[in-house]
Structure 1
Amino acid sequence: MNIKDVKQAIRERVWRLLEEKNAAAFPRPVYGRIPNFIGSERACELAASLLEFQGARVVKVNPDSPQRRCREITLNSGKLLIMPTPRIKEGFLMLDPTKIPRHYYREASTIGGAFKWGKPIKPWDAPKIDLVVVGSVAVNPATGRRLGKSHGYAEVEWGIMSMFGKVNESTPVVTTVHDLQLVNDNIPKEPFDLPVDIVVTASRVIRVSRVDVKPIGIYWEYVTEDMLREIPLLAELYDRSRQ
């Protein structure tokens, strides 16, 4: 099997396991998604106890369902929240808790609420990000290698932000997952893959001995025409890179 097939086989196994063990949460089925899982809120609460979270002023969190509580806690903690729009189609949003009534923080932590209460922000105008929270389909807690749902959105988001110095090798990357999403597989690595530093489940925190460095910038040789068509911000940056 090639690298893509090996990665997909691991994803399929984890999705199936979450469904069979009834550990999956709405929206179901979880196939093809960053899977929501029973205990996702507790995992976010545990992630918020990390010194890295407590010391952060700006936190970037993915827009998927299992990390909704992470976004809410970020606002509750008085931190600036950077949220990519789904599929990065409309770039990034920034949510400032000082400009949102406190009783709307939960609403603001949803995708629809983030569009209502957040404001679009260009990556070059974003503040420096102190902590990144990503969703995963599977993660190897020994190596820090993770798998998303196969579209590479976390990698593109990281690549864009790293282009402008908003994240770098020392920026902590956390993922919140169900224990069933922890795998022992030797997940194959592609140059643009983003490893994680900390894995948090509903029951534990695992600090990873990372085997890979974090990528910097966009690896344009891996960017397809479809990606440029579907992510206007990426197309804009591509045009800039060719001038």
Structure 2
Amino acid sequence: MEREQVQEAKQVVRERIWELLEKERAVNTSARGRIPAFVGADAAAALLAEHPSWQSARVVKAVPDRAQMPVRARALEEGKRVYMAASKLAAQKPFHLLDPKTLTIPPQEAADRHTAARFARPVDLNEMPHVDLVVCGSVAVNTGGVRLGKGAGYSDIEVALLNEAGLIGSSTLIATTVHELQIVDGQLPETDHDFRVDLIITQNRVVECSPYRRPPGILWESLSPEAIEAIPALASRKP
């Protein structure tokens, strides 16, 4: 399947899931064009917190989406350092550091992406430690770990940057929190630069995925010149 066909196939799935979530009233706001802010996100975060990989993690890289806000808040409450991507990775230092040791506001407030942008310390990849756990958002995911984001590609770029910088490795688990309705039976379209998740956590269960699959780093041929120039962390690293 050609790349354009893959993208079209992905969008068909996204539209179906967005429609389903809204029809079943499983989202707090309109899901269209977004990582769905699903009903039960707090319960999913609590279930993730019971997993051994979470309990042993000291450094968590989490997406800024509203759906994962309970995960970020819980991490801070438990004393974990949280690194969250800046909007569209457009900053010279593309990650925000939320350190519970130095926070001057409550974790629930700090976990909000807009608040974090004001209070967190901007950091570059060379200022980050090894990441113990990555938490991403998804529009759809299957039990093989194939996931679809909202289509912008930022999560794939974040993971590729972390991988290339040596900040994650084969032992670093990637988890996603979703509503049960976002889990799709059967195959999902994917490309070479897409990563798979190791854990799926809903409000009711934890799904451990296999086999492991993760691109080794940035696949430059998959990025347009415009996309590279829009993200300083990519533009500065272009070979």
Q: Which bin holds the TM-score, normalised by the shorter protein?
A: over 0.9
Alignment of 1:101-120 (within 5 A): 101=104, 104-120=106-122
1:168/1:214 contact within 8 Å kept: no
TM-score (norm 2): 0.94
Deviations 1:170-228 (A, max 9, x none): 21000000000000131122111110011000111111123x52112110001112312
Give the ranges of 4+ consecutive aligned residues of structure 1 lying more than 6 Å apart after TM superposition: none
Code of the aligned partner of 1:220: W
**Is the 1:140–1:183 contact (alpha carbons within 8 Å) kept by the matching residues of 2?**
yes
Alpha-carbon offset, residue 86 of structure 1: 2.0
Unaligned stretches of 5+ in structure 2? none
Return 5+ residue gaps in structure 1 as ranges. Answer: none
Q: CA deviation at 1:33?
A: 0.5
Aligned twin of 2:24: 21
Amino acid at match of 1:21: E
Confirm whether residue 6 of structure 1 aligns to residue 9 of structure 2: yes
Aligned counterparts, 1:1-243, within 5 A: 2-26=5-29, 28=30, 30-90=31-91, 91-101=94-104, 104-141=106-143, 143-210=144-211, 212-238=212-238, 241=239
Q: C-alpha displacement at 1:113, in angstroms? A: 1.7
Structure 1 residue 85 displacement after superposition: 1.2
Q: Deviations over 1:140-164 (max 9, x none)?
A: 01x1100001111111000111111
TM-score by length of 1: 0.93
Which letter does structure 2 place at the counterpart of 1:107? E
- Counterpart CA distance in 1 for 2:25 and 2:82 is 31
CA distance in 1, matches of 2:164, 2:86: 19
* 1:52-88 deviation per Cα after TM superposition (whole angstroms, max 9, x unaligned): 0110010001000000010011101101101001211
- Secondary structure in structure 2 of the residue aligned to 1:127: coil
Q: How many residue pairs align between the two structures? A: 234
Q: Indicate how the Cα distance of structure 1 residues 33 and 136 shifts in structure 2: closer, same or farther if over 3 A, else same.
A: same
Q: Which amino acid aligns with 1:84?
A: A
For residue 229 of structure 1, report the CA deviation from its aligned partner: 3.3
Q: Is the Cα contact below 8 Å between 1:44 and 1:70 reproduced in 2?
A: yes
Query: Contact 1:35–1:66 (CA<8 Å) still a contact in 2?
Result: yes
Q: Give RMSD over aligned pairs.
A: 1.3
Q: Which amino acid in the other structure matches residue 6 of structure 2? A: I
Q: Which segment drifts farther, 187-196 or 171-180?
A: 187-196
One-letter code aligned to 1:177 = V
- Please give the alpha-carbon distance, in whole angstroms, between the structure 2 residues aligned to 1:117 and 1:79: 17
